[in-house]
Amino acid sequence: MPEKIRIIVNEDKCYLCGGCAGVCPALAIRVSSSRWEFFPDKCISCRICVSTCPVGALSAEPLEGES
Amino acid sequence: MKYDVVVVGAGIAGPIVARNVAKEGYSVLLIDKKSAIGAPKQCAEGINITVFEKYDIPYDKRFINREIYGAKLYSPSGYELELRYNDVSGVILERKVFDKMLAFYAARAGADVLVRTEAVDVIRENGAIKGIRAKHEGEPIEIYADVIVAADGVESTIARKAGINTYAPPHEFDSSYEYEMLIEGFDPDMIHLWFGNEIAPRGYVWVFPKDEDRANVGIGINSDNPKTAKYYLDKWLKENNIPAKKLLEINVGVVPVGGIVKELAKDNVVVVGDAARQVNPMHGGGMAEAMEAGTIASKWIVKALEEENLELLKNYTKEWWEKDGKRLERVLKVRKVVEKLTDEDLDVFIQVLSGADAEKIAGGDYLEVIKALLKHPKVLMSPRRIALLKELL
């Protein structure tokens, strides 16, 4: 099992293009015209969204020690 | 509210479906989450001249920035391949006007159009999908419809919520980044494409002129690359001493370049365009593909409504795969070979190919070209190149 993570967006860098939502295998990201949303319970910690973002606006942070 | 058809997404495919179905007298609602249709775009805006007649779209100067007469390809070491026509072969659009006009044609044909309306989920009743839940300016609305068209772009949310498998692995997407900027020194009547593993891994850098001194300057790279598209574009501009000081727009996006959806219609839900991964996997262009898919989808939606038989929607899957799917699968095969080429290979192929050859390869009609290449001395000297080309036979 990969380390359980949470995805963080840098809102100043994000263009709300929706690409991260498109590559997410688990529908854990929703991008509306004004907002980027993350659903931690759906995330499978694959980090595909992080490497896909054309501008590097996403990062992953460990969820350890929280529940 | 209740419509015969609800279309989610007013990019290219959505408005084409909405227009064609409304024209036949059925009630259609076209929604888009954006407040202004067409912006922001995820596109380099180049399209073949033939689409206007083929898909019954007016050749309206309001959305045509510039007419283009061909393409120039550049290899990593600077070899050039030119494909120049005497007549206009394509145009660089202004998507923020073009998409809006496509929605306007749909509205004029009888469709209702609602912007700032985001589809959130499908409505299920007794296991069947009855419509979609959406938010219009934040207010929840329920839209009931006999047919739901998922034209919601790369995110493909509605198709996925409806149980259509649109998943593709990360390697089957490109990440792209583009400036609209002032730029000089390139023939403004041609589009320009640069290839190379250091320049644009798996993809290319493009200059698509919108004026003599203004262009879309962008890049697409494999989305599973550890570096960003922005990193590679800025590096290319710097290395070529092109000042990026007059930037008019920045556009970013993720483009499906493979993983075409197998099942394009399920019960009363159909998926079209980027949402269905109906994009040319070689160059990442998807507007013409979206128009073709939208045309075929709308034909079967109309037939299904006429005959009150939603089973007929499955014919969209069948016809699309016969017409465009097979071709795009061939192009995907080319992409998978091209991405294995070294910079030296790219230099060789750009030297030995003609412009017409390159066009055939990108279009999926490449058998004769590959056979001819296999006889070329520069290819014959390399068993690896022979093996790569033979993957395409």
Looking at chain A, which residue has its C-alpha nearest residue B275?
Answer: A22
Q: Which of A12, A23, A47, A58 to mutate to test the interface with B (most CBs of B within 10 A)?
A: A23
The 10s digit of each residue's pLDDT in B203-214 is: 999 999 999 999
Residues of chain B with CATH 3.30.9.10: 170-256
Segments in B265-354 forming alpha helices (H):
287-306, 314-320, 326-338, 343-352
- CATH class (in words) of the domain with range B2-66+92-169+259-331: alpha beta
Q: Residue B275 in 3-state DSSP?
A: helix
* pLDDT > 80? residue B304: yes
Q: Hey, are the CB atoms on A55 and B177 less than 8 Å from each other? A: yes
* pLDDT > 80? residue B134: yes
User: With a CB-CB cutoff of 8 Å, which residues 7-66 of chain A face chain B?
Assistant: 15-23, 25, 27, 30-33, 48, 51-56
Lowest mean pLDDT among A22-36, B67-81, B319-333, B354-368: B354-368
Residue position matching structure tokens 């192929």: B349
What percentage of residues in chain B have a pLDDT greater than 70? 100
Phi/psi of residue B139, each to 5°? Answer: -85, 130
- Please enumerate in sequence order all residues whose Cβ is within 8 A of that of B331, keeping only pairs 6 or more positions apart, or say none: B280, B281, B282, B362, B363, B364
The residue-averaged pLDDT of B315-337 equals: 96
- Categorize the per-residue pLDDT at A1 as very low, low, confident or very high, splitting at 50, 70 and 90: low
- How many residues are listed for chain B in this entry? 393
The residue-averaged pLDDT of A50-59 equals: 98
- Min Cα separation A40/chain B (Å): 17
Nearest to B182 by CA among B154, B213, B153, B158: B213
Q: How far apart are CA B266 and CA B310, in angstroms?
A: 9
Residues of chain B with CATH 3.50.50.60: 2-66+92-169+259-331
Second-level CATH architecture of A5-62: 2-Layer Sandwich (3.30)
Q: How far apart are CA A55 and CA B219, in angstroms?
A: 12
Q: Hey, are the CB atoms on B228 and A55 less than 8 Å from each other? A: yes
Phi/psi of residue B54, each to 5°? Answer: -60, -40
The residue-averaged pLDDT of B117-142 equals: 97
The 10s digit of each residue's pLDDT in B234-268 is: 999 999 999 999 999 999 999 999 999 999 999 99
Nearest to B85 by CA among B109, B64, B97, B67: B67
Q: Hey, are the CB atoms on A33 and B155 less than 8 Å from each other? A: no
- CATH class (in words) of the domain with range B170-256: alpha beta
Nearest to B33 among A23, A33, A54 (CB): A33
Domain boundaries, chain A: 5-62
What is the interface pTM, i.e. ipTM, of the complex?
A: 0.94
What's chain B's average pLDDT?
96
Cβ distance B390 to B383 under 8 Å? no
Contact residues, chain B, for A52 at CB < 8 Å: 170, 173, 175, 223-224, 254
- Please enumerate in sequence order all residues whose Cβ is within 8 A of that of A43, keeping only pairs 6 or more positions apart, or say none: A5, A6, A7, A26, A28
